Structure 1
Amino acid sequence: KWTSFPPFALQATGANKGIGNGIVELLVQGLKPASHWHVYLTARNEKLGVEAVKVLEDRGLSVKFHQLDITDADSRHKLAEFMKANYPDGIDILVNNAGIAYKTDSTTPFGEQARVTIATNYTATVKMCTGFLPLMAKDSRLVNVASMAAMMSLRAMSKEMAAKFKGRLTLVIVCYVHSKPSLCCKLNRRQWLCIVALTTFRHAEAGDHKKVGFSNSTYGMSKVGLWRATAILAGQFKPDPHHILITSACLC
Protein backbone atom coordinates (compact mmCIF):
# COMPACT_ATOMS: atom_id res chain seq x y z
CA LYS A 1 0.00 0.00 0.00
CA TRP A 2 1.43 3.36 -1.05
CA THR A 3 0.52 6.46 0.89
CA SER A 4 1.76 9.40 -1.16
CA PHE A 5 -0.79 11.87 -2.48
CA PRO A 6 -1.00 11.74 -5.34
CA PRO A 7 0.93 8.47 -5.51
CA PHE A 8 2.87 7.95 -8.70
CA ALA A 9 5.21 5.50 -10.39
CA LEU A 10 8.38 6.86 -11.94
CA GLN A 11 9.96 4.77 -14.69
CA ALA A 12 13.13 6.74 -14.52
CA THR A 13 15.33 5.49 -17.28
CA GLY A 14 15.45 4.26 -20.86
CA ALA A 15 11.72 3.93 -21.48
CA ASN A 16 11.19 5.14 -25.04
CA LYS A 17 11.57 1.60 -26.42
CA GLY A 18 12.20 -2.02 -25.56
CA ILE A 19 11.97 -3.36 -22.02
CA GLY A 20 11.65 0.08 -20.44
CA ASN A 21 8.73 1.00 -22.66
CA GLY A 22 7.06 -2.31 -21.89
CA ILE A 23 7.49 -1.73 -18.15
CA VAL A 24 5.81 1.66 -18.41
CA GLU A 25 2.90 0.19 -20.37
CA LEU A 26 2.39 -2.59 -17.81
CA LEU A 27 2.58 -0.15 -14.91
CA VAL A 28 -0.04 2.11 -16.44
CA GLN A 29 -2.31 -0.84 -17.15
CA GLY A 30 -1.85 -2.48 -13.78
CA LEU A 31 -1.80 0.33 -11.22
CA LYS A 32 -5.34 1.08 -10.05
CA PRO A 33 -7.10 3.40 -9.79
CA ALA A 34 -5.26 4.94 -12.73
CA SER A 35 -6.25 8.47 -11.70
CA HIS A 36 -4.20 8.10 -8.52
CA TRP A 37 -0.97 7.34 -10.35
CA HIS A 38 1.36 9.57 -12.33
CA VAL A 39 3.57 7.34 -14.46
CA TYR A 40 6.63 9.00 -15.97
CA LEU A 41 8.35 7.72 -19.07
CA THR A 42 11.85 9.16 -19.28
CA ALA A 43 14.35 9.02 -22.11
CA ARG A 44 17.65 10.61 -23.06
CA ASN A 45 16.31 11.78 -26.43
CA GLU A 46 13.36 14.10 -25.80
CA LYS A 47 11.91 13.70 -29.31
CA LEU A 48 11.88 9.90 -29.07
CA GLY A 49 10.49 10.06 -25.55
CA VAL A 50 7.61 12.33 -26.52
CA GLU A 51 6.84 10.09 -29.50
CA ALA A 52 6.77 7.04 -27.23
CA VAL A 53 4.35 8.78 -24.89
CA LYS A 54 2.06 9.64 -27.80
CA VAL A 55 1.97 5.99 -28.91
CA LEU A 56 0.87 4.96 -25.42
CA GLU A 57 -1.65 7.78 -25.22
CA ASP A 58 -3.14 6.66 -28.54
CA ARG A 59 -3.81 3.33 -26.82
CA GLY A 60 -5.77 5.13 -24.14
CA LEU A 61 -3.01 5.11 -21.53
CA SER A 62 -2.10 8.11 -19.38
CA VAL A 63 1.67 8.66 -19.37
CA LYS A 64 3.84 11.69 -18.60
CA PHE A 65 7.30 12.48 -19.96
CA HIS A 66 10.48 13.96 -18.54
CA GLN A 67 13.88 14.05 -20.20
CA LEU A 68 16.64 12.12 -18.45
CA ASP A 69 20.17 11.16 -19.41
CA ILE A 70 21.40 9.06 -16.50
CA THR A 71 25.05 9.72 -17.41
CA ASP A 72 24.55 13.49 -17.11
CA ALA A 73 24.65 14.88 -13.56
CA ASP A 74 22.72 18.00 -14.54
CA SER A 75 19.99 15.92 -16.17
CA ARG A 76 19.65 13.76 -13.06
CA HIS A 77 19.54 16.85 -10.88
CA LYS A 78 16.80 18.49 -12.98
CA LEU A 79 14.61 15.42 -12.75
CA ALA A 80 15.20 15.12 -9.02
CA GLU A 81 14.30 18.76 -8.47
CA PHE A 82 11.16 18.36 -10.59
CA MET A 83 10.03 15.33 -8.62
CA LYS A 84 10.81 16.93 -5.28
CA ALA A 85 8.84 20.05 -6.19
CA ASN A 86 5.82 18.24 -7.60
CA TYR A 87 5.68 15.20 -5.31
CA PRO A 88 6.66 16.29 -1.80
CA ASP A 89 5.55 12.96 -0.33
CA GLY A 90 8.11 11.18 -2.47
CA ILE A 91 8.51 8.74 -5.33
CA ASP A 92 6.59 5.47 -4.94
CA ILE A 93 8.24 3.35 -7.63
CA LEU A 94 11.55 3.92 -9.41
CA VAL A 95 12.65 1.49 -12.12
CA ASN A 96 16.22 1.90 -13.36
CA ASN A 97 16.29 0.36 -16.81
CA ALA A 98 18.53 2.51 -19.03
CA GLY A 99 21.68 0.88 -20.26
CA ILE A 100 23.93 0.22 -23.22
CA ALA A 101 25.15 -2.97 -24.89
CA TYR A 102 27.52 -3.00 -27.85
CA LYS A 103 26.75 -5.42 -30.67
CA THR A 104 29.09 -8.37 -31.08
CA ASP A 105 30.33 -7.02 -34.42
CA SER A 106 31.08 -3.54 -33.05
CA THR A 107 34.37 -2.04 -34.24
CA THR A 108 34.70 0.13 -31.13
CA PRO A 109 37.90 -0.78 -29.25
CA PHE A 110 37.22 -3.20 -26.40
CA GLY A 111 38.65 -0.84 -23.79
CA GLU A 112 36.34 1.95 -24.95
CA GLN A 113 33.37 -0.42 -24.89
CA ALA A 114 34.21 -1.33 -21.31
CA ARG A 115 34.57 2.29 -20.22
CA VAL A 116 31.27 3.43 -21.74
CA THR A 117 29.30 0.34 -20.74
CA ILE A 118 30.41 0.37 -17.11
CA ALA A 119 30.01 4.15 -16.85
CA THR A 120 26.40 3.83 -18.01
CA ASN A 121 25.09 0.51 -16.73
CA TYR A 122 26.91 0.55 -13.41
CA THR A 123 28.20 3.96 -12.35
CA ALA A 124 25.34 6.11 -13.67
CA THR A 125 22.70 3.70 -12.38
CA VAL A 126 24.30 3.64 -8.94
CA LYS A 127 24.25 7.44 -8.99
CA MET A 128 20.55 7.28 -9.85
CA CYS A 129 20.04 5.11 -6.78
CA THR A 130 22.02 7.26 -4.37
CA GLY A 131 20.59 10.44 -5.83
CA PHE A 132 16.95 9.39 -5.74
CA LEU A 133 16.78 7.19 -2.64
CA PRO A 134 16.47 10.32 -0.45
CA LEU A 135 13.42 11.28 -2.54
CA MET A 136 11.63 7.94 -2.19
CA ALA A 137 8.33 7.77 -0.33
CA LYS A 138 7.65 5.58 2.67
CA ASP A 139 6.97 1.95 1.65
CA SER A 140 8.29 2.68 -1.85
CA ARG A 141 10.05 0.41 -4.34
CA LEU A 142 13.34 0.84 -6.21
CA VAL A 143 13.99 -1.75 -8.91
CA ASN A 144 17.19 -2.09 -10.93
CA VAL A 145 16.80 -4.07 -14.14
CA ALA A 146 19.29 -6.94 -14.06
CA SER A 147 20.38 -9.45 -16.67
CA MET A 148 21.32 -13.12 -16.96
CA ALA A 149 24.53 -11.76 -18.49
CA ALA A 150 25.66 -11.03 -14.93
CA MET A 151 25.40 -14.67 -13.91
CA MET A 152 27.10 -15.75 -17.13
CA SER A 153 29.96 -13.35 -16.41
CA LEU A 154 30.28 -14.65 -12.87
CA ARG A 155 30.62 -18.19 -14.19
CA ALA A 156 33.20 -17.02 -16.75
CA MET A 157 35.38 -15.31 -14.13
CA SER A 158 38.22 -16.97 -12.31
CA LYS A 159 37.19 -18.52 -8.99
CA GLU A 160 39.23 -15.91 -7.15
CA MET A 161 37.56 -12.96 -8.91
CA ALA A 162 34.07 -14.42 -8.54
CA ALA A 163 34.72 -14.90 -4.83
CA LYS A 164 35.58 -11.21 -4.49
CA PHE A 165 32.28 -10.17 -6.04
CA LYS A 166 30.33 -12.58 -3.86
CA GLY A 167 32.14 -11.49 -0.69
CA ARG A 168 31.86 -8.36 1.43
CA LEU A 169 32.05 -5.25 -0.72
CA THR A 170 31.50 -1.58 -0.05
CA LEU A 171 31.23 1.24 -2.57
CA VAL A 172 33.13 4.48 -3.20
CA ILE A 173 30.62 6.27 -5.41
CA VAL A 174 28.25 8.61 -3.59
CA CYS A 175 25.99 11.10 -5.34
CA TYR A 176 22.86 12.61 -3.85
CA VAL A 177 20.78 15.75 -4.32
CA HIS A 178 19.14 17.82 -1.60
CA SER A 179 18.15 14.75 0.36
CA LYS A 180 15.95 14.33 3.35
CA PRO A 181 18.11 14.70 6.49
CA SER A 182 17.50 11.16 7.80
CA LEU A 183 18.56 9.53 4.57
CA CYS A 184 21.29 12.07 3.83
CA CYS A 185 23.11 11.07 7.00
CA LYS A 186 23.05 7.43 5.99
CA LEU A 187 24.42 8.24 2.56
CA ASN A 188 27.15 10.41 4.00
CA ARG A 189 28.33 7.56 6.23
CA ARG A 190 28.61 5.07 3.37
CA GLN A 191 31.86 4.23 1.67
CA TRP A 192 31.72 2.26 -1.53
CA LEU A 193 34.40 0.22 -3.25
CA CYS A 194 33.71 0.51 -6.97
CA ILE A 195 35.76 -2.55 -7.94
CA VAL A 196 34.12 -2.83 -11.36
CA ALA A 197 34.45 0.77 -12.49
CA LEU A 198 37.95 1.21 -11.13
CA THR A 199 39.54 -1.97 -12.44
CA THR A 200 37.54 -3.70 -15.18
CA PHE A 201 37.83 -1.11 -17.92
CA ARG A 202 41.47 -0.42 -17.05
CA HIS A 203 42.32 -4.07 -17.59
CA ALA A 204 40.11 -4.11 -20.69
CA GLU A 205 42.12 -1.21 -22.11
CA ALA A 206 45.34 -3.05 -21.30
CA GLY A 207 43.98 -6.24 -22.84
CA ASP A 208 44.70 -8.38 -19.79
CA HIS A 209 41.18 -8.48 -18.29
CA LYS A 210 40.82 -12.25 -18.78
CA LYS A 211 44.29 -12.87 -17.38
CA VAL A 212 43.40 -11.17 -14.10
CA GLY A 213 40.11 -13.05 -13.83
CA PHE A 214 37.38 -10.87 -15.39
CA SER A 215 34.97 -12.18 -18.01
CA ASN A 216 35.13 -11.14 -21.67
CA SER A 217 31.73 -9.39 -21.57
CA THR A 218 31.74 -5.70 -20.70
CA TYR A 219 27.94 -5.75 -20.49
CA GLY A 220 27.99 -8.75 -18.20
CA MET A 221 30.60 -7.19 -15.94
CA SER A 222 28.59 -3.97 -15.68
CA LYS A 223 25.55 -5.99 -14.62
CA VAL A 224 27.59 -7.94 -12.06
CA GLY A 225 28.55 -4.62 -10.52
CA LEU A 226 24.95 -3.39 -10.50
CA TRP A 227 23.73 -6.65 -8.97
CA ARG A 228 26.21 -6.33 -6.10
CA ALA A 229 25.54 -2.62 -5.62
CA THR A 230 21.80 -3.32 -5.41
CA ALA A 231 22.35 -6.02 -2.79
CA ILE A 232 24.57 -3.71 -0.74
CA LEU A 233 22.02 -0.91 -0.85
CA ALA A 234 19.19 -3.27 0.05
CA GLY A 235 21.08 -4.45 3.11
CA GLN A 236 22.02 -0.96 4.22
CA PHE A 237 18.47 0.37 3.89
CA LYS A 238 16.77 -2.66 5.44
CA PRO A 239 16.52 -1.09 8.93
CA ASP A 240 15.50 2.33 7.58
CA PRO A 241 12.08 3.47 8.89
CA HIS A 242 10.99 4.48 5.38
CA HIS A 243 10.80 0.76 4.48
CA ILE A 244 12.14 1.22 0.96
CA LEU A 245 12.29 -2.10 -0.86
CA ILE A 246 15.40 -2.20 -3.07
CA THR A 247 15.72 -5.07 -5.48
CA SER A 248 16.83 -6.14 -8.94
CA ALA A 249 14.68 -7.91 -11.49
CA CYS A 250 16.11 -10.07 -14.24
CA LEU A 251 14.14 -9.35 -17.41
CA CYS A 252 16.68 -10.33 -20.05
Structure 2
Amino acid sequence: MNSVLFPLDPGRRQQEPPSGLPLVVVPHAGGTAHAFRGWTTPARTRGLEVFGTRTVTPAAGSPAPSVRDRAHRLAQSLAELGEPFVLVGHSLGGLIAAEAVLHLERHHPHAVPALLVVCATNPPQLHRPMPVPNGTEAEAVDFLRGAGGTPAAVLEDRGMRELAVAMLLGDLASLRGFAWDGRRLTTPTAVYAGRTDPLAPPESLARWTGAAESVTTRDFDSGHFFPHDRTAEVLDAIRLDLAGRDAPRGIGRPHHAHRP
Protein backbone atom coordinates (compact mmCIF):
# COMPACT_ATOMS: atom_id res chain seq x y z
CA MET A 1 0.00 0.00 0.00
CA ASN A 2 1.39 3.39 -0.97
CA SER A 3 1.74 5.90 1.84
CA VAL A 4 -0.79 8.72 2.01
CA LEU A 5 1.73 10.94 3.83
CA PHE A 6 3.89 13.60 2.23
CA PRO A 7 5.98 16.53 3.56
CA LEU A 8 4.23 19.86 3.08
CA ASP A 9 7.54 21.69 2.58
CA PRO A 10 9.53 19.27 0.39
CA GLY A 11 11.95 21.92 -0.92
CA ARG A 12 13.07 22.94 2.54
CA ARG A 13 13.21 19.30 3.58
CA GLN A 14 15.70 18.61 0.78
CA GLN A 15 17.85 21.59 1.77
CA GLU A 16 17.83 20.94 5.51
CA PRO A 17 17.71 17.52 7.18
CA PRO A 18 14.48 17.19 9.17
CA SER A 19 14.97 17.52 12.90
CA GLY A 20 11.47 18.10 14.22
CA LEU A 21 8.77 15.77 15.46
CA PRO A 22 6.44 14.84 12.58
CA LEU A 23 3.08 16.56 12.82
CA VAL A 24 0.61 14.82 10.48
CA VAL A 25 -2.44 16.86 9.46
CA VAL A 26 -5.79 15.65 8.11
CA PRO A 27 -7.91 18.38 6.46
CA HIS A 28 -11.57 19.35 6.72
CA ALA A 29 -14.29 18.16 4.33
CA GLY A 30 -13.81 19.73 0.92
CA GLY A 31 -10.23 20.73 1.68
CA THR A 32 -6.77 19.34 1.07
CA ALA A 33 -3.72 19.19 3.29
CA HIS A 34 -2.35 22.19 1.39
CA ALA A 35 -4.65 24.29 3.57
CA PHE A 36 -1.94 23.72 6.22
CA ARG A 37 0.90 25.20 4.15
CA GLY A 38 0.84 28.22 6.45
CA TRP A 39 1.78 25.89 9.30
CA THR A 40 5.14 24.81 7.92
CA THR A 41 7.30 27.76 8.99
CA PRO A 42 5.80 28.40 12.46
CA ALA A 43 5.78 24.64 13.10
CA ARG A 44 9.45 24.30 12.21
CA THR A 45 10.36 27.04 14.68
CA ARG A 46 8.58 24.97 17.35
CA GLY A 47 10.36 21.71 16.55
CA LEU A 48 7.59 20.22 14.41
CA GLU A 49 7.70 19.13 10.77
CA VAL A 50 4.33 19.15 8.97
CA PHE A 51 3.22 16.19 6.88
CA GLY A 52 0.07 16.31 4.78
CA THR A 53 -2.26 13.42 3.98
CA ARG A 54 -3.48 12.60 0.50
CA THR A 55 -7.16 12.02 -0.14
CA VAL A 56 -7.68 9.22 -2.62
CA THR A 57 -10.25 10.19 -5.26
CA PRO A 58 -12.49 7.26 -6.22
CA ALA A 59 -12.81 6.31 -9.85
CA ALA A 60 -15.87 7.55 -11.72
CA GLY A 61 -18.90 5.56 -10.68
CA SER A 62 -17.17 4.09 -7.63
CA PRO A 63 -18.56 4.74 -4.15
CA ALA A 64 -16.71 7.19 -1.95
CA PRO A 65 -14.45 5.51 0.62
CA SER A 66 -15.99 5.50 4.08
CA VAL A 67 -14.53 7.28 7.09
CA ARG A 68 -13.14 3.95 8.31
CA ASP A 69 -11.70 3.10 4.89
CA ARG A 70 -9.83 6.41 4.90
CA ALA A 71 -8.83 5.97 8.55
CA HIS A 72 -7.42 2.49 7.98
CA ARG A 73 -5.39 3.67 5.00
CA LEU A 74 -4.02 6.52 7.11
CA ALA A 75 -3.26 4.16 9.99
CA GLN A 76 -1.23 1.87 7.74
CA SER A 77 0.88 4.82 6.59
CA LEU A 78 1.36 6.05 10.15
CA ALA A 79 2.46 2.58 11.26
CA GLU A 80 5.29 2.82 8.74
CA LEU A 81 6.65 6.12 10.09
CA GLY A 82 8.74 4.36 12.71
CA GLU A 83 9.07 7.38 14.99
CA PRO A 84 6.94 9.39 17.44
CA PHE A 85 4.48 11.80 15.83
CA VAL A 86 1.50 14.04 16.52
CA LEU A 87 -1.73 13.52 14.58
CA VAL A 88 -3.95 16.56 13.96
CA GLY A 89 -7.37 16.44 12.30
CA HIS A 90 -9.63 19.37 11.43
CA SER A 91 -13.42 18.90 11.34
CA LEU A 92 -14.10 15.71 9.32
CA GLY A 93 -10.34 15.18 9.42
CA GLY A 94 -10.57 14.92 13.20
CA LEU A 95 -13.01 12.04 12.96
CA ILE A 96 -10.80 10.28 10.40
CA ALA A 97 -7.78 10.86 12.66
CA ALA A 98 -9.57 9.46 15.72
CA GLU A 99 -10.66 6.35 13.83
CA ALA A 100 -7.08 5.91 12.57
CA VAL A 101 -5.80 5.99 16.16
CA LEU A 102 -8.41 3.43 17.24
CA HIS A 103 -7.13 1.19 14.45
CA LEU A 104 -3.53 1.73 15.56
CA GLU A 105 -4.37 0.99 19.19
CA ARG A 106 -5.89 -2.34 18.16
CA HIS A 107 -3.52 -3.47 15.41
CA HIS A 108 -0.27 -1.44 15.76
CA PRO A 109 0.00 -0.38 19.42
CA HIS A 110 3.69 0.43 18.96
CA ALA A 111 2.75 3.14 16.44
CA VAL A 112 0.12 5.22 18.27
CA PRO A 113 0.79 8.97 18.22
CA ALA A 114 2.31 10.83 21.13
CA LEU A 115 -0.78 13.03 20.97
CA LEU A 116 -4.03 13.11 19.00
CA VAL A 117 -5.38 16.62 18.35
CA VAL A 118 -8.93 17.05 17.04
CA CYS A 119 -9.96 20.55 15.97
CA ALA A 120 -13.57 21.62 15.40
CA THR A 121 -14.68 17.97 15.40
CA ASN A 122 -17.86 16.81 17.10
CA PRO A 123 -17.40 13.65 19.21
CA PRO A 124 -18.17 10.42 17.35
CA GLN A 125 -21.05 9.44 19.64
CA LEU A 126 -22.88 12.73 18.93
CA HIS A 127 -25.28 12.21 16.05
CA ARG A 128 -25.69 15.38 14.01
CA PRO A 129 -27.63 15.84 10.74
CA MET A 130 -25.70 15.93 7.48
CA PRO A 131 -24.79 19.57 6.77
CA VAL A 132 -25.81 19.17 3.12
CA PRO A 133 -28.78 16.79 3.47
CA ASN A 134 -29.81 16.51 -0.16
CA GLY A 135 -26.40 16.89 -1.75
CA THR A 136 -27.39 19.79 -3.99
CA GLU A 137 -25.01 22.46 -5.22
CA ALA A 138 -27.13 25.22 -3.68
CA GLU A 139 -27.01 23.53 -0.25
CA ALA A 140 -23.28 22.97 -0.58
CA VAL A 141 -22.61 26.60 -1.50
CA ASP A 142 -24.76 27.81 1.41
CA PHE A 143 -22.81 25.53 3.73
CA LEU A 144 -19.44 26.73 2.42
CA ARG A 145 -20.49 30.35 2.86
CA GLY A 146 -21.79 29.75 6.38
CA ALA A 147 -18.77 27.74 7.52
CA GLY A 148 -16.26 30.28 6.24
CA GLY A 149 -12.80 29.32 5.09
CA THR A 150 -13.69 29.35 1.37
CA PRO A 151 -12.64 32.57 -0.41
CA ALA A 152 -15.54 34.49 -1.96
CA ALA A 153 -13.67 34.47 -5.28
CA VAL A 154 -13.88 30.67 -5.34
CA LEU A 155 -17.64 30.67 -4.85
CA GLU A 156 -18.15 33.40 -7.45
CA ASP A 157 -16.20 31.60 -10.18
CA ARG A 158 -18.29 28.83 -11.74
CA GLY A 159 -15.43 26.43 -12.40
CA MET A 160 -13.83 26.81 -8.97
CA ARG A 161 -17.23 26.69 -7.28
CA GLU A 162 -18.10 23.40 -8.99
CA LEU A 163 -14.77 21.92 -7.93
CA ALA A 164 -15.21 23.08 -4.32
CA VAL A 165 -18.73 21.63 -4.23
CA ALA A 166 -17.60 18.31 -5.72
CA MET A 167 -14.79 18.00 -3.18
CA LEU A 168 -17.12 18.83 -0.29
CA LEU A 169 -19.85 16.41 -1.37
CA GLY A 170 -17.30 13.67 -2.00
CA ASP A 171 -15.91 14.03 1.51
CA LEU A 172 -19.32 14.25 3.15
CA ALA A 173 -20.36 11.07 1.35
CA SER A 174 -17.77 9.20 3.43
CA LEU A 175 -19.82 10.08 6.54
CA ARG A 176 -22.96 8.29 5.39
CA GLY A 177 -23.52 5.17 7.43
CA PHE A 178 -20.86 6.06 10.00
CA ALA A 179 -21.68 4.91 13.54
CA TRP A 180 -19.38 4.97 16.54
CA ASP A 181 -18.63 1.46 17.74
CA GLY A 182 -18.33 2.50 21.38
CA ARG A 183 -14.59 1.97 21.80
CA ARG A 184 -12.82 4.73 23.73
CA LEU A 185 -9.42 6.06 22.73
CA THR A 186 -6.62 5.42 25.22
CA THR A 187 -4.15 7.74 23.44
CA PRO A 188 -3.83 11.22 25.03
CA THR A 189 -6.30 13.41 23.16
CA ALA A 190 -6.41 17.21 22.87
CA VAL A 191 -9.73 18.66 21.73
CA TYR A 192 -9.67 22.21 20.37
CA ALA A 193 -12.73 24.36 19.65
CA GLY A 194 -13.48 27.76 18.16
CA ARG A 195 -15.54 29.78 20.61
CA THR A 196 -17.84 31.06 17.85
CA ASP A 197 -17.96 27.85 15.78
CA PRO A 198 -21.61 27.05 14.92
CA LEU A 199 -20.76 23.62 13.47
CA ALA A 200 -18.77 22.18 16.37
CA PRO A 201 -19.40 24.45 19.37
CA PRO A 202 -17.31 24.13 22.54
CA GLU A 203 -20.22 22.62 24.50
CA SER A 204 -20.42 19.74 21.99
CA LEU A 205 -16.68 19.17 21.96
CA ALA A 206 -16.69 18.85 25.75
CA ARG A 207 -18.41 15.49 25.25
CA TRP A 208 -15.21 13.97 23.84
CA THR A 209 -14.66 12.66 27.36
CA GLY A 210 -17.17 9.97 26.39
CA ALA A 211 -14.98 8.84 23.49
CA ALA A 212 -11.47 9.13 24.96
CA GLU A 213 -10.00 8.27 28.33
CA SER A 214 -7.51 11.14 28.61
CA VAL A 215 -8.81 14.46 27.29
CA THR A 216 -7.72 18.08 27.47
CA THR A 217 -9.96 20.65 25.79
CA ARG A 218 -9.03 24.17 24.78
CA ASP A 219 -11.00 26.90 23.02
CA PHE A 220 -9.77 29.70 20.78
CA ASP A 221 -11.12 33.10 19.82
CA SER A 222 -12.34 32.24 16.32
CA GLY A 223 -14.81 30.10 14.38
CA HIS A 224 -14.70 26.80 12.53
CA PHE A 225 -11.41 27.62 10.80
CA PHE A 226 -9.51 28.67 13.91
CA PRO A 227 -6.61 26.27 13.08
CA HIS A 228 -5.74 28.64 10.24
CA ASP A 229 -6.86 31.88 11.91
CA ARG A 230 -4.95 31.11 15.12
CA THR A 231 -2.13 28.93 13.84
CA ALA A 232 0.58 30.12 16.22
CA GLU A 233 -1.71 29.69 19.23
CA VAL A 234 -2.75 26.20 18.13
CA LEU A 235 0.87 25.12 17.60
CA ASP A 236 1.85 26.50 21.00
CA ALA A 237 -1.07 24.60 22.56
CA ILE A 238 0.08 21.38 20.86
CA ARG A 239 3.56 21.77 22.34
CA LEU A 240 2.08 22.42 25.78
CA ASP A 241 -0.26 19.43 25.55
CA LEU A 242 2.61 17.22 24.44
CA ALA A 243 4.41 18.23 27.60
CA GLY A 244 1.25 18.01 29.74
CA ARG A 245 1.44 21.69 30.72
CA ASP A 246 -1.22 24.38 31.02
CA ALA A 247 -1.09 27.35 28.66
CA PRO A 248 -0.25 30.89 29.74
CA ARG A 249 -2.78 33.66 29.17
CA GLY A 250 -3.54 34.15 25.46
CA ILE A 251 -3.23 30.50 24.38
CA GLY A 252 -6.42 28.45 24.26
CA ARG A 253 -7.97 28.16 27.72
CA PRO A 254 -7.47 24.57 28.96
CA HIS A 255 -9.97 22.30 30.67
CA HIS A 256 -8.76 18.91 31.85
CA ALA A 257 -10.80 15.74 32.07
CA HIS A 258 -9.79 12.14 32.80
CA ARG A 259 -6.07 12.89 32.66
CA PRO A 260 -4.62 9.87 34.49
TM-score higher than 0.5: no
- Smaller-chain TM-score bracket: 0.3 to 0.5
Pick the structure with greater CA Rg.
1
TM-score under structure 1 length normalisation: 0.36
Structure with more of its chain in helix, by fraction: 1
If the length of structure 2 is used for normalisation, what is the TM-score?
Answer: 0.35
**RCO higher in structure (CA 8 A, sep ≥6):** 1
